[in-house]
Chains A and B, each alone.
Chain A
Amino acid sequence: MNADRPTIRLRLNDRIDESRIAEVLHGIEEEGVPVEVTRHDQLNPLLLAHEASLESRLGIGIGISLDHLVITTEKLPADHPYLIAVLNQSPTIDRRAGANAARLVKRMPLSDLNAE
């Protein structure tokens, strides 16, 4: 894998099944932004997201663990992420969260993650 490719980084906790993040990835894909997924034993989604953002050449990271989905940017401290959602609350919200991560890259208006 080419580390220089500009992508959104998604850090996934080892215990989360790949199938649970399908809609999140589809949301990113529909917006046309590339994403790379890696697995980690870190349990804290805040740290996962923070480290993912530092690793991303686009500066946008997603951390998923313990039913939480966290989206942040390299410019924010680990304990103050930009967007948070409950994972698998509904396929729509998952898809929207993915789309929002991509829209942060594209600088386009975000969708509300709290409304169905």
Chain B
Amino acid sequence: MALIAGIDIGNATTEVALAELTADAAPVFVASSIVPTTGIKGTAQNTQGVFQALTIALDAAGRSLSELDLIRINEAAPVIGDVAMETISETIITESTMIGHNPTTPGGLGIGVGVTIGIDNLDRAAGGTPYIVVADRSHTFDDVANRINAVQGLVEITGAILQRDDGVLVHNRLVRKIPIVDEVSLVEKVPIGMLAAVEVAEVGRIIETLANPYGIATLFSLTSDETASVVPMARSLVGNRSAVVIKTPKGDVTERRIPAGWLQFIGDRTSEVDVDRGAEEIMRVAGTVGQIRNVRGEPGTNVGGMMEKVRVVMGRLTDRDPAGIEVTDLLAVDTEVPQKVTGGLAGEFSLEAAVGIAAMVKADRLQMQRIAHDMTAQFGIPVEVGGVEADMAVRGALTTPGSSIPIAILDMGAGSTDACVLRADAPARSIHLAGAGNMVTLLIQSELGLESAEDAENIKRYPLARVETLFNIRHEDGTVEFFDAPLPPHVFARTVVLHPDGMIPLPLRQPLEVIRQVRIKAKQRVFVTNALRALCAVSPTNHVRDIAHVVLVGGSALDFEIPQLVTRALGEYRVVAGRANIRGTEGPRNAVATGLVLAWEAQR
């Protein structure tokens, strides 16, 4: 009798399947365990997590490390978890020509046009000219209102720009009402003595005149050439409740494309693609070179730096020369990233085009051999490398009740999406593709402009809800849940993530539905795209349609909606897909670890 441990070191988790093998009998699995992977998959730091996972499984089975006869580990395909994001457009305001933000409480209503004037100089203002008053933090709302009221009838004032959050307070104290934009953080940069327009829309409405190029042209008497030049400005103000546009001699708002550089795919053929062309074009070109052997970025450009970073990180982790690291797959996804507008006066954001890229580095069998060797020395137990991960996963997946050969599996992990097809009369075909759970987290984080990856990870993993009153929340599907005790003030009226440990309020102003759509789209663009790519590659005919049954395994198959998204997408190809239940007990987890044990059994 032999006690064997199959160990799967994944990008996110390390899983163990512990089994007893006797001659002429099927292996008996006695315990399983799962712990977070220590270090990057495929590196020496993994040993610690392996030891921890082994200890848990052995304890559960009431056995000790010394009783273990053999450890089998997977041949890992290390994937850079740290996927990269490159913005390829940029909005720049020159000479402070506009303010477009959404203070929660602007003052007044309507539109006012006039020449900007500092509030201290109001007594020196000439009659006959309309003015827009500019007041910094040193002026309280009483002071601002008193000064404006004092010149009532002498000087015409048509609007105000304030640094403090005082718009409504000033408005309530004015004899003659004007539109007021407040919370302009860099008010000192507002040019004085220039023609400007202030617009505040009604509650629940958005500005109409300043978001329309012809509206701006009417206010400032622009020529047709000048009107053409204010289009980017008008466009960037769309959707705001309040805005200021200032006409300066050289001022402008421009949207610039950042030259991101080209990517070169080296396979059976070699092909280059401009990153500016977007994800679809990148993926199309990637598909034309045959089996990808390496991907390079244009030196001295953003994408060049990005690919270089991937190589350096992988080189350092695996003790190899970065120049020798070969990227064997790449997933590009188009995205929009909120970026602070260069030259903005009130911390304005603009949605910029960006490309997210996940890259995968070829597995180094020698590296895994070294880890196996290290572990053998450390544990005093033979450790061997068990074979290609996807093949192992198929063997594990076949323990799902109701499954049989021919079978295709889709292993959706944190760092890579793998597929494998096993048919009765042919060797298994498998593929590793870049892009999985970590890529989804990155897309969510950048598209929502989140500072913390933890918030993004939570949004990915758990459903959302909105706290409606002290005693109830509304779930994202519209159902309402009541509580006996009042919900704490820090979650009141916020969109929260329903984490098992409690509600986590999100630092976001977007409506719940927007956040939900970002989450779903991120999952679709990574997992649906990769599911189709992977199944095409392993299908005997290179068509997804010719795979009948697909079993989903891996950590991301545990997600509350990814399996449904993939199942629905594959349904369009009349492919039956469902979540695995390894050994009838483990769910979609432990497929590779189980497979490693079964493969050894088969070898004997």
- A residues touching B (Cβ–Cβ < 8 Å)? 26, 29-32, 73, 75-76, 80, 82-83, 100, 103-104, 107-110, 112
Closest to B492 in A: A110
On chain B, the residues within 8 Å of A100 by CB distance are 489
Could you tell me the distance between the alpha carbons of A48 and B468 in the complex, rounded to whole angstroms? 26
A112 CA to B494 CA in the complex, in Å?
13
Which 10 A-B pairs have CB atoms at the shortest separation, nearest pair first?
A: A30-B168, A107-B493, A109-B493, A109-B494, A110-B489, A108-B493, A30-B169, A110-B492, A30-B105, A32-B168
Q: Within the assembled complex, what's the spacing in Å between the Cα atoms of A80 and B486?
A: 10
B489 in contact with A29 (CB, 8 Å): no
Q: How far is the CB of A116 from chain B (nearest CB, A)?
A: 15
Q: Is the CB of A29 within 8 A of B470?
A: no
Which one, A26, A30, A75, A110, contacts B493 given CB within 8 A? A110
Chain B residues whose C-beta falls within 8 Å of the C-beta of A82 in the assembled complex: 470, 486, 489
Cα A43 to Cα B141 with chains together (Å):
32
The answer to whether A30 and B165 have CB atoms under 8 Å apart is: yes
> Complex Cα distance A73/B469, Å?
11
**What are the residues of chain A within 8 A of B560 when measuring CB–CB?**
none
Asked whether B172 lies within 8 Å of A103 as measured between CB atoms, the reply is no
Residues of A within 8 A of B104 (CB): 108
Q: How far is the CA of A108 from the CA of B590 in the complex (A)?
A: 45
Contact present for B486 and A76 (CB under 8 Å): yes
Partner of B166, one of A30, A75, A109, A110: A30
- For residue B174, give the distance in angstroms from its CB to the closest CB of chain A: 14
B491: nearest residue on chain A (CB-CB)? Answer: A109
Which residues of the partner chain A approach B169 to less than 8 Å between Cβ atoms? 26, 29-30
Name the CB-closest residue of B to A71: B489
Given A26-B141, A104-B492, 17 more contacts at CB 8 Å?
A26-B169, A29-B168, A29-B172, A30-B105, A31-B168, A32-B105, A32-B168, A75-B470, A75-B471, A100-B489, A103-B493, A108-B104, A108-B493, A109-B505, A110-B489, A110-B490, A110-B493
Interface contact B492-A109, CB-CB below 8 Å: yes
Contact partners of B172 in chain A: CB under 8 A: 29
Nearest-Cβ distance from residue A18 to partner chain B, whole angstroms? 16
User: Taking chain B's interface residues, is the majority helix, strand, or loop, or is none over half, making it mixed?
Assistant: loop
User: Is B167 among interface residues, defined by CB-CB distance under 8 A?
Assistant: yes
The distance from the CB of A83 to the nearest CB of chain B, in whole angstroms, is 6
Q: A26-B141, A29-B168 are in contact. Are A112 and B493 (CB under 8 A)?
A: no
A112-B105 CB under 8 A given contacts A30-B165, A107-B468: no
CB distance from A73 to the nearest CB of B (A): 6
> Which residues on A sit within 8 Å (CB–CB) of B468?
107
Q: Can you name 7 A-B pairs with beta carbons within 8 Å? A: A30-B105, A30-B169, A32-B105, A75-B471, A107-B468, A109-B505, A110-B489
Q: In the complex, A82→B470 CA distance in Å? A: 9
Nearest CB of chain A from residue B303's CB, rounded to whole Å: 39
Contact, CB under 8 Å: A112 / B166 = no
Alpha-carbon distance between A32 and B471 when the two chains are bound, in angstroms: 25
CB distance from B17 to the nearest CB of A (A): 47
The smallest C-beta distance from A29 to any residue of chain B, in angstroms, reads 6
Would you call A112 and B168 a contact (CB within 8 A)? no
List of B residues within 8 angstroms of A29 by Cβ = 168-169, 172
